[in-house]
Chain A
Amino acid sequence: MKRIGKFLSSMPFAITLLVLLAAACAMSSAIPQGATWEQYAVQYGERTAGWIVGLQLDDAFHSWWFIGLSAFLCLNLLCCNLIRLPSLLKRVRAFGNPEKMISANATAEAQGTGDPQQMFTALRMGKPAGRKTGDGREMLFSAGNRAGFWGAWICHMGILLLILGFALGQMTAEKYTVYALPGQTKPLENTGLTVRVDDFRTERAESGAVQQYTAMLTVSDPENHTVESGTASVNAPAALFGYKFFQNSVGWGADVTVLKNGEVLQKDSLCAGEYIPVKDKQELVVYLQAFYPDYVQMTGMSPMTASEELNNPAYLYRIYYKGELLGMNALMSGEEVTIDEYTVRFDHPRNYTLLAVKRDRFTFLVLLGGLITLAGLVLAFWVQPRAVWAVREDNGWHVYGMNRKGGALFRDEFGKAAAATGFTAADTEKGGND
């Protein structure tokens, strides 16, 4: 059991996992995610497509092996932090204890007859405390930045929290999309709520470029007779009924009118891609396939729009009866299509809003994990535990310095401080960084 724990917390295991995760991410980013076997077969050939689907490379970031690697990384971080904790505590305590420091290997040493207080100041140490060594010699001691010992430990905890928050979010978050034209009310899937788009505005710069999309929303809970309203803009979601509504995208839609023998039978609104059955003949379906605000049709090419301005609006429709296509064409503004006694026309084209709706109770955990990771990195990189102590000798002072992360750079700094304060630094290669 001890051996398993040691292996799970080991650095070679951590490095192997990190390299595998990096390789998995790099490989998965090169393969289009979420495509079908047929699409992969066209792109890479049938044999490769089989491998891609078989190894779940088509949804790599949710595959069993990617989740497995991430779970092992969490286990590694947890074991590493748990196993290291007692020795870390011991090291932190020892670092502030002058008796223990004497026996430790110093990173740098200097000797001379100068004032050791100046050496402490030059090395940016706190005011040293006076002590006696075991053999009764006078000693000055100062230690600081012990928080730096905790850097890697805190960083690991942050990453662990972040992965945990992400995993919990993936498992429990509710995510929906809803799109509607201004004035339309749509159900929010199975939440029991309805979303009404009261208004939808597009702010444009003088050049015509879109600056902002804003949707005014009213969300209702019919069962509890409660209503909440808010505004969702790009980069400023609305928070209603515990859900966040994000202004995600826009599209085109229009009003559709169906006449029977010249009399209005029904009026409705359709977003591009939606259809409605005719009221008194449900097998007859009107489908608004696409809308082109500035319609251009060139020979041999698919219809397209020259701009997003309503310069030459055209509605691409299809009409089906019992699933069979009766007709399709592009209707220009004011044009109608008649099939038997039914006439269809489109008008009042306008933008619809596509909203992303989300409730993730664990986002805060991810943010907290990220901030803790950041704090850990700052401590690990920039808060360097260092101790300086000076022992009086017959011919002056012997000054020792210890820096857990400085290594060669600390020896340089120590040497310069020694030279500036009348000491001679000894050539030592001890110590390092962690």
Chain B
Amino acid sequence: MLQAENTLFTIAVIGYFVLTVLNFAFVALKKEKLSSAAFFLQTGLFILHTAALVLRGIGAGRWPMTNQYEFATSFAWALCLVSLIFIRKYRFPVLGAFSSPLILLMIGYAAMQSREVKELMPSLRSSWLAFHVSTAIIAYGSFGVAFVLSLIFLFRGRIKEEGFWGQHIPQPEKLDMISYRSVCLGMLFLTLTILTGAIWAEQAWGSYWSWDPKETWSLVTWIIYAVYLHLRLRRGWKGKAAAWFAVIGFICVIFTYIGVNTFLPGIHSYA
């Protein structure tokens, strides 16, 4: 099983690289057919990546989201899923061109981690693990897409309406709304992550909140996105300022995931 997972993962890494090249070719050559091919390739990669995760879970005999490698590959999977949903729902193929490098970066980071399957420590042997980590992955994937959308929003201000970009990127107001929807999805799942984590921590350690660096940075991320949601309600702040907060929010997400494990060890140090 794990051998098969290894093979599928390697194919996925190569596939995401090809996807990124294809998306770059689409925006460079401005050929619509390439965007359709990229969408189909991304759909195929998503199915393949899902199969790899399922095989990993069967091979490891547990939910495959417990170490840096598993979380990173799941993060890339969620980015792929959420971007596919948003590309399809809002008929926005250029989103793929901006999101595929991020997916490639994340799966590249996963490829650099140890893929060894280790036994779980007793505190991780809980049914809450599945809820807690799955919701975190969807939240991170949604925030990743919101980050990409916000970058597109900031980039959109510099382009001409009549050109390729003007035709393929929605109007600022609509773009802002799509980004907002992505943040909403992320915010809901981040709240669920914090809640399920608190319930689990209460069961495992008798403390639902310990100000552990990971918990603290999840709260910081939650607050940054709460500020984003409030800023959008104020005249003059909607748009550019809110987009910058979505960018800062995703930097917090990345710090919570990678930075905290590296620089601020705590009770989440295994994650």
Q: Which residues of A contact B (CB under 8 A)?
A: 11-12, 14-15, 18-19, 21-22, 25-26, 28-30, 33, 61, 166, 175, 205, 207, 209-213, 233-237, 244, 246, 248, 356-358, 363, 366-367, 370-371, 373-374, 377-378, 381-382, 406-409, 412, 429, 433-434
Q: Min CB distance, A105 to chain B, in Å? A: 16
CB within 8 Å of A: which B203-224 residues: 203-209, 211, 213, 216-217, 219-220, 223-224
Whether B220 contacts A373 by the Cβ 8 Å rule is no
CB pairs A–B below 8 angstroms (7 shown) = A26-B217, A29-B213, A234-B204, A246-B205, A356-B206, A370-B198, A433-B232
B220 in complex: contacting residue of A22, A235, A357, A378, CB < 8 Å? A22
A237 in complex: contacting residue of B203, B217, B220, B263, CB < 8 Å? B203
Whether B206 contacts A363 by the Cβ 8 Å rule is no
A409 to B180, CA, bound (A): 11
Whether A373 contacts B191 by the Cβ 8 Å rule is yes
B206 in complex: contacting residue of A61, A205, A246, A381, CB < 8 Å? A246
Known contacts A377-B188, A412-B174; A22 and B223 CB within 8 A of each other: yes
Residue in B closest to A170 when the chains form the complex, CB atoms: B209
Name B's interface SS: helix
Whether B206 contacts A212 by the Cβ 8 Å rule is no
B171 at the interface (CB under 8 A from A): yes
Q: Which 7 A-B pairs have the closest CB atoms?
A: A209-B119, A246-B206, A234-B122, A381-B184, A408-B174, A22-B223, A356-B206
Whether A210 contacts B202 by the Cβ 8 Å rule is no
Whether A33 contacts B211 by the Cβ 8 Å rule is yes
A144 to B235, CA, bound (A): 27
Whether B203 contacts A236 by the Cβ 8 Å rule is yes
Whether B198 contacts A356 by the Cβ 8 Å rule is no
Whether B119 contacts A207 by the Cβ 8 Å rule is yes
Q: Min CB distance, A384 to chain B, in Å? A: 11
Contact residues on B (Cβ < 8 Å of other chain), bracket: 35 or more
Whether A407 contacts B227 by the Cβ 8 Å rule is no
Instruction: Provide the residues of chain B in CB contact with A378, threshold 8 Å.
Output: 188
A234 in complex: contacting residue of B123, B171, B209, B231, CB < 8 Å? B123
B136 at the interface (CB under 8 A from A): no
Whether B205 contacts A248 by the Cβ 8 Å rule is yes
B173 at the interface (CB under 8 A from A): yes
Whether A213 contacts B122 by the Cβ 8 Å rule is yes
CB within 8 Å of A: which B62-99 residues: none
Q: Min CB distance, A344 to chain B, in Å? A: 34
Known contacts A11-B233, A29-B216, A29-B264; A22 and B227 CB within 8 A of each other: yes
Instruction: Provide the residues of chain B in CB contact with A207, threshold 8 Å.
Output: 119
Instruction: Provide the residues of chain B in CB contact with A358, threshold 8 Å.
Output: 206-207
Q: Min CB distance, B173 to chain A, in Å? A: 4
Q: Min CB distance, B172 to chain A, in Å? A: 9
Known contacts A374-B191, A412-B174; A25 and B219 CB within 8 A of each other: yes
B231 in complex: contacting residue of A15, A374, A406, CB < 8 Å? A15
Residue in B closest to A177 when the chains form the complex, CB atoms: B206
Whether A363 contacts B202 by the Cβ 8 Å rule is yes
